[in-house]
Amino acid sequence: MNLKDIIKSLRNSEHYSIRLIYYFLKPFWLARRFITDAYYRSAVITGLRSGNKYYQRSSFTKTDRYPVVFAACAHYLQSNSHPHILSFGCATGEEAATLGKYLPGAMIAGTDINEWCIRTCRNSYNDNKRLRFFNRHSDEFNNCGGFDAIFCMAVFQNTANRLNKNNETAKYLTFSQFEEELKALDAKLNNGGLLVTDNCDFSFTDTAIAVHYKPLVFPDNLIERDRPLFDRNNRKIAETQHIYRVFVKDGK
């Protein structure tokens, strides 16, 4: 058992006195973690700086996490030998690097709100000249645009919306924030470009800009996800989602 598990077992004890020990030790354990764990420290600092604009706080990701989606997007973009791609909420960069393999001529930008993620991306992919990474609060992000595809995977969600016992209403990331972010990303996407979302608390089709988009036709674009769906008013309307992931911008 590591220290984290020992502390958790104290919290779940049947004995009040042992649970008290947990509440006494927890601040020391968090302080130790803040000092020794650079990722945790950065997540805390990002939370303090960005508040409710810091949506999904976990930076879990992996190489080739969405192979069906990536393959369909690469097929759609095949006539463009040098597409410009944005990975929004890129975490430690595996998504951007994977997209580089599916799209060998692409220039790929990754952005994240957590500066530790951006540092990690730059260190890991320093030798790949087709990849660049910047903080979403940077001028580079504000000024970037002209993308042929924007991927927003597992970013527009907040774990508390999904897992809190009383989650009839989405409070920690709201629909208006989701819609505002997508409007801003829409302005960075070329006509005919792809907007890709997955693992969200809301449906892209509920946003005002969705009228300018059509789902890309490919098997498994419509997917079932075992997670709650919230509507424009932040009310939970389903425990399971049936959502399209890849949309083509028609720009009319």
Ligand X SMILES: C[S@@+](CC[C@H](N)C(=O)[O-])C[C@H]1O[C@@H](n2cnc3c(N)ncnc32)[C@H](O)[C@@H]1O
Of the candidate spans 51-59, 75-83, 142-150, 159-167, the one that interacts with ligand X by CB under 6 A turns out to be: 51-59
* Residue placing its CB nearer to ligand X in the complex, 90 or 182: 90
Both tokens assigned to 252: 């009319």
| Sign of the CA dihedral running 167, 49, 203, 217 | negative
Per CB under 6 A, the segment of 21-29, 57-65, 188-196, 236-244 that binds ligand X is: 57-65
* Interface pattern 137-166 for ligand X (x via CB under 6 A): ----------------xxx-----------
Contact between 54 and ligand X by CB under 6 A: the answer reads yes
| Closer residue to ligand X in complex, CB, 153/210 | 153
Give the closest residue to 116 by CA, choosing from 47, 200, 196.
47
With residue 3 as reference, give the H or E element that holds it: helix 3-11
| 129 to 79, 80, 224: CA distances (angstroms) | 22, 19, 37
- Token pair, residue 250, equals 């028609």
**CB under 6 A: which stretch of 77-85, 106-114, 163-171, 186-194 binds ligand X?**
106-114
Candidates 24-32, 56-64, 120-128, 219-227 — which segment interacts with ligand X by CB under 6 A?
A: 56-64
**Binding residue for ligand X, selected from 10, 72, 113, 150, defined by CB under 6 A:** 113
What is the distance between the alpha carbons of residues 87 and 196, in angstroms, rounded to a whole number? 10
CA distance 158 to 58: 9
Q: How far is CA 178 from CA 204, 209, 224, 232, in A?
A: 9, 12, 20, 10
x/- site string to ligand X, residues 59 to 98, per CB under 6 A?
xxx---x-----------------------xxx---x---
Q: Which is nearer to ligand X, 40 or 54 (CB)?
A: 54
Q: Rounded to the nearest whole angstrom, what is the least distance from the CB of residue 89 to ligand X in the complex? A: 3
Around Cβ 179, how many Cβ atoms within 10 Å?
19
Q: What is the largest CA-CA distance in the chain?
A: 67
Which residues are near ligand X by CB under 6 A? 53-56, 58-61, 65, 89-91, 95, 112-114, 117, 136, 153-155
